[in-house]
């Protein structure tokens, strides 16, 4: 496990884009055209499936069956697919369940993880290396290894008809990466600051809240973003612990969507996918730099 | 100094919540799951002791062999494809697109944050064969190629899975590797150019060796992640046709919750965990020299 403590992974991976400035550019017209074509091709590969998805969400069933696959929708203001997805497809309930599970778990995992990161990196005690490695090992363990005992525990505690199993499990599986990333960020805060504060008579509580937290505030936000994506997009845990339709999260709901509508109801299915994608799109639109930085820093999770 | 930064009560208070939740929900279940491997039955109907039968069955069960082979093949192929493509993209960003690469980096990275289920359902539609042709088959038809039933054979399902995962993750590996390439000092590149190295030779003899550490970590992360593939398979092919695209993760899930065999499910989960562990240790051992160098 020590492999991931290597500095090149610990450093937030995305650097300022100023590098291109220092490379000498040989500007010849042919090369520029080639570059534009290459870049355009790359963008097409990424964007065409998404554009087709949005177009499809506005098409009616007969357009799907009679028009060519790449035809534009007849009407861009036909939101009936969306309303079908939300009302008949219960997408509203699923989104609510996702919000009710992901955000409490996110709050707890960040709270516990930041405190543990501080205790493991800033404070000095014997055995902290071992505890850190124990947390790191959790990143490696596949979810399948803990599902069955957890199912038994939740079943015996009669929690299976509620959202609690999801909240508890999400809190726990978020911890290894949160602790690991927070320890990394606390490591980059100069030790002298805490030592000086100690000499000035600051208690450890004071140091945690007045020095530690403000210095890693940005990092906490980044880690929270990363964890949000992991939890929001989770299928394995949600599929295991959602016993009834009213408990489904958005991912499980979407997975069962086609079953409800029948395989060939294209419009509502694509509208539901659009709604699912929309949330992450909005976050990415505003915070893409931070998301890229955070996700690559958390790449140990694979 | 020691008494404040080494305050035992404070350490306990800060660490206790995380350690308690982590131990109860992850550490203990891991060992509990190990215990399940010598039992048969499930939480609802009760258990009976069967000794090492589950472990023995792992070695003789053709379903497990198939799933293990699929898991390994999938992880190797996908890692090779996505890291290689990510590396090519990173080279493109650094050496060709340069200043213009910012927007493209951001856009190509975007599919990583999309929910896997959504992407899988989208790809199901893109590659649709019946009752109507999806966009991919329509494009093939334009070139006079007959439509392909993508999810009808195990080979084509496998490659659609690889294609989808590559589409999702190439931007991620590109950004990860980009960071490694950007760190190569300009002076080194400049002096190699003066010595006459250019194009492929520069990449082969200077760029690849110097970005080896980050390349190797990308490979570790990729294998570790792809061995655990679950969401995409469930949502895209659901293990089919037949059981030909069923990885260990999905087989464990079906065995445990479909057939209620907790003991055998745990044995499969153990096999998967061992696989992840062996791969990580193996790669770490064989690459330690390089990893500690930079």
Instruction: Find the residue in B nearest to A300 (Cα).
Output: B221
What is the CA angle B256-A95-A282, rounded to 5?
Answer: 120
C-alpha distance from A231 to closest chain B C-alpha (Å)? 10
Examine residue B25 and state whether it is found in any structural domain, yes or no: no
Examine residue B9 and state whether it is found in any structural domain, yes or no: no
Q: Which of A6-20, A231-245, B28-42, B254-268 has the lowest mean pLDDT?
A: A6-20
**pLDDT at position B29 over 90:** yes
Q: Do B135 and A65 lie within an 8 Å CB cutoff? A: no
**pLDDT at position A23 over 50:** no
**pLDDT at position B53 over 50:** yes
Share of chain B above pLDDT 70, in %: 95
Task: Domains for chain A: give ranges and CATH numbers.
Answer: 100-249+283-301 (1.10.3720.10)
Predicted pLDDT at B286: 62
- How far CA A288 is from CA of A51, A189, A220, B179, in Å, comes to 20, 25, 16, 16
At residue A262 the predicted structure's pLDDT band, cuts being 50, 70 and 90, is: low
**pLDDT at position A237 over 50:** yes
**pLDDT at position B283 over 90:** no
Q: Write out residues 92-131 of A within 8 Å (CB-CB) of B.
A: 108, 111-113, 115-116, 118-120, 122-125, 131
Residue B106 · residue A258 · CB < 8 Å: no
Predicted pLDDT at A113: 94
Q: Do A46 and B178 lie within an 8 Å CB cutoff? A: no
Q: For the segment B168-216, what is each residue's pLDDT rounded down to a tens digit?
A: 999 999 999 998 888 888 888 888 888 887 778 888 888 888 888 888 8
**pLDDT at position B43 over 80:** no
Predicted pLDDT at A69: 77
Mean pLDDT on A87-105: 91
> CB contact, 8 Å: A84 with chain B?
no
Q: Do B135 and A52 lie within an 8 Å CB cutoff? A: yes
Q: CA torsion angle for A232, A237, A242, A243 (degrees, to 10)?
A: 170
C-alpha distance from B213 to closest chain A C-alpha (Å)? 8
Residue in B252, B236, B251, B254 with CA at minimum distance from that of residue B115: B236
Predicted pLDDT at A103: 96
Evaluated on CA atoms B21, B22, B25, B29, the torsion sign reads negative
Q: Which of A50-54, A102-106, B97-101, B288-292 has the lowest mean pLDDT?
A: B288-292
> CB contact, 8 Å: B142 with chain A?
no
Examine residue B12 and state whether it is found in any structural domain, yes or no: no
- The boundaries of the domain holding residue B99 are 61-291
How would DSSP label each residue in A122-163? TS--TTHHHHHHHHHHHHHS-THHHHHHHHHHHHHTT-TTSS
Count Cβ–Cβ pairs < 8 Å, chain A vs chain B: 325
Examine residue B176 and state whether it is found in any structural domain, yes or no: yes
The CA distance from A82 to A103, in Å, is 25
Tokens representing residue A291 in the block? 């998301």
Instruction: Find the residue in A nearest to B184 (Cα).
Output: A19
Predicted pLDDT at A232: 93
**Residue for token pair 């040989």:** A26
Overall number of domains in chain B: 1
Selecting from B235, B249, B280 the residue whose C-beta is nearest the C-beta of A142 gives: B249
Examine residue B24 and state whether it is found in any structural domain, yes or no: no
Q: Which of A43-52, B39-48, B199-208 has the highest mean pLDDT?
A: A43-52
Q: For the segment B140-177, what is each residue's pLDDT rounded down to a tens digit?
A: 988 988 888 999 999 999 999 999 999 999 999 999 99
C-alpha distance from A38 to closest chain B C-alpha (Å)? 9
What are the b/e assignments for B41-68, b being 16+ CB within 10 Å?
bbbeeebeebeebbbeebeebeebebbb
Residue in A171, A175, A127, A168 with CA at minimum distance from that of residue A151: A168
The CA distance from A85 to B118, in Å, is 14
At residue A25 the predicted structure's pLDDT band, cuts being 50, 70 and 90, is: very low
Selecting from A122, A149, A258 the residue whose C-beta is nearest the C-beta of B5 gives: A122
C-alpha distance from A214 to closest chain B C-alpha (Å)? 17
More confident residue, A9 or A70: A70
How would DSSP label each residue in B152-175? TSHHHHHHHHHHHHHHHHHHHHHH
**Which residues from B are below 8 Å from A231, CB to CB?**
none
Evaluated on CA atoms B33, B34, B39, B40, the torsion sign reads positive
> CB contact, 8 Å: B226 with chain A?
yes
Examine residue B16 and state whether it is found in any structural domain, yes or no: no
Predicted pLDDT at A238: 93
- Output the average pLDDT for chain B: 87
B12: phi then psi, degrees, rounded to nearest 5: -60, -45
Class of residue B199 by CB neighbours under 10 A (exposed 0-12, middle 13-18, buried 19+): exposed
Host H or E run for residue B39: strand B39-42
Which of B2, B4, B180 to mutate to test binding with chain A, by most A CBs within 10 Å of its CB? B4
Which of B118, B198, B236 to mutate to test binding with chain A, by most A CBs within 10 Å of its CB? B118
Predicted pLDDT at A202: 86
**Which residues from B are below 8 Å from A20, CB to CB?**
94, 97-99, 101
What DSSP state is assigned to residue B183? T
Examine residue B210 and state whether it is found in any structural domain, yes or no: yes
B47: phi then psi, degrees, rounded to nearest 5: -120, 155
Evaluated on CA atoms B45, B50, B54, B55, the torsion sign reads positive
Helix, strand, coil fractions of chain B, as percent rounded to 5 = 75, 5, 20
- Output the average pLDDT for chain A: 84
Predicted pLDDT at B2: 60
Predicted pLDDT at B97: 80
**Which residues from B are below 8 Å from A23, CB to CB?**
94-95, 98, 186
The CA distance from A42 to A40, in Å, is 5
The CA distance from A57 to A80, in Å, is 9
Mean pLDDT on A36-58: 90
Q: Write out residues 155-184 of A within 8 Å (CB-CB) of B.
A: 155-156, 168-169, 171-173, 175-176, 179
Examine residue B244 and state whether it is found in any structural domain, yes or no: yes
Identify the CATH number of the domain in which residue B248 sits.
Answer: 1.10.3720.10
The pairing of beta strand B46-49 with beta strand B39-42 = antiparallel
What are the b/e assignments for A159-174, b being 16+ CB within 10 Å?
bbeebebbbbbbbbbb
Class of residue A37 by CB neighbours under 10 A (exposed 0-12, middle 13-18, buried 19+): exposed
Selecting from A6, A284, A302 the residue whose C-beta is nearest the C-beta of B110 gives: A284
3-class SS string, B69-122: HHHHHHHHHHHHHHHHHHHHHHHHHHHHHHHHHHHHHHHHHHHHHCCHHHHHHH
Predicted pLDDT at A263: 56
C-alpha distance from A199 to closest chain B C-alpha (Å)? 7
Q: Do A22 and B186 lie within an 8 Å CB cutoff? A: yes
At residue A259 the predicted structure's pLDDT band, cuts being 50, 70 and 90, is: low
C-alpha distance from B194 to closest chain A C-alpha (Å)? 13
**pLDDT at position A4 over 80:** no
């Amino acid at each position: 496990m020590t492999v991931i403590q290597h500095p090149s992974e610990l450093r937030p991976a995305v650097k300022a884009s100023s590098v291109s400035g220092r490379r000498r550019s040989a500007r010849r017209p042919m090369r520029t055209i080639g570059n534009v074509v290459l870049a355009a091709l790359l963008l097409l590969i990424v964007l065409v499936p998404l554009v087709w998805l949005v177009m499809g969400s506005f098409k009616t069933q007969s357009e799907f069956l009679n028009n060519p696959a790449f035809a534009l929708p007849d009407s861009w203001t036909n939101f009936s697919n969306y309303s079908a997805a939300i009302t008949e497809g219960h997408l509203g309930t699923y989104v609510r369940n996702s919000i009710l599970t992901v955000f409490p778990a996110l709050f707890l995992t960040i709270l516990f993880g930041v405190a543990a990161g501080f205790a493991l990196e800033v404070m000095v005690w014997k055995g902290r290396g071992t505890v850190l490695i124990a947390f790191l090992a959790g990143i490696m363990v596949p979810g399948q290894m803990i599902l069955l005992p957890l199912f038994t525990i939740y079943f015996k505690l009669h929690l299976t008809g509620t959202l609690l199993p999801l909240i508890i499990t999400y809190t726990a599986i978020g911890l290894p990466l949160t602790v690991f990333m927070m320890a990394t960020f606390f490591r980059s805060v100069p030790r002298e600051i805490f030592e000086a504060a100690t000499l000035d008579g600051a208690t450890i509580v004071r140091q945690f809240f007045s020095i530690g937290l403000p210095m890693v505030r940005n990092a906490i936000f980044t880690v929270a973003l990363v964890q949000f994506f992991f939890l929001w997009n989770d299928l394995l845990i949600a599929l295991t612990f959602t016993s009834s339709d009213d408990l489904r999260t958005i991912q499980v709901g979407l997975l069962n969507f086609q079953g409800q509508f029948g395989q060939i109801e294209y419009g509502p299915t694509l509208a539901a996918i659009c709604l699912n994608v929309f949330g992450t799109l909005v976050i990415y639109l505003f915070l893409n730099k931070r998301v890229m930085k955070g996700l690559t820093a958390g790449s140990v999770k694979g | 100094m020691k008494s404040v930064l080494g305050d035992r009560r404070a350490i306990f208070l800060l660490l206790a919540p995380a350690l308690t939740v982590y131990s109860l929900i992850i550490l203990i279940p891991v060992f509990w799951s190990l215990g399940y491997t010598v039992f048969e039955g499930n939480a609802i109907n009760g258990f009976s002791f069967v000794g090492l039968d589950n472990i023995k069955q792992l070695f003789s069960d053709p379903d497990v062999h198939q799933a293990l082979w699929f898991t390994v093949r999938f992880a190797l192929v996908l890692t090779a494809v996505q890291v290689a493509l990510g590396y090519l993209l990173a080279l493109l960003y650094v050496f060709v697109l340069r200043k213009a690469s910012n927007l493209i980096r951001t856009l190509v990275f975007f599919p990583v944050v999309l929910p896997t289920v959504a992407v899988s359902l989208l790809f199901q539609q893109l590659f649709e064969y019946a009752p109507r042709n999806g966009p991919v088959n329509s494009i093939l038809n334009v070139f006079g190629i007959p439509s392909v039933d993508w999810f009808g054979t195990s080979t084509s399902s496998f490659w659609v899975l690889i294609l989808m995962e590559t589409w999702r993750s190439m931007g991620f590996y590109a950004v990860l590797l980009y960071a490694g390439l950007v760190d190569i000092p300009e002076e080194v590149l400049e002096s190699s150019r003066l010595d006459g190295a250019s194009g492929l030779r520069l990449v082969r003899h200077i760029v690849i060796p110097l970005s080896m550490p980050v390349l190797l970590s990308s490979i570790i992360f990729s294998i570790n992640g792809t061995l655990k593939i679950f969401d995409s398979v469930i949502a895209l092919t659901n293990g089919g046709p037949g059981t030909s695209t069923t990885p260990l993760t999905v087989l464990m899930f079906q065995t445990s919750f479909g057939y209620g065999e907790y003991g055998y499910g745990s044995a499969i989960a153990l096999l998967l965990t061992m696989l992840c562990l062996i791969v990580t240790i193996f790669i770490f051992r064989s690459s330690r020299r390089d990893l500690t160098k930079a």
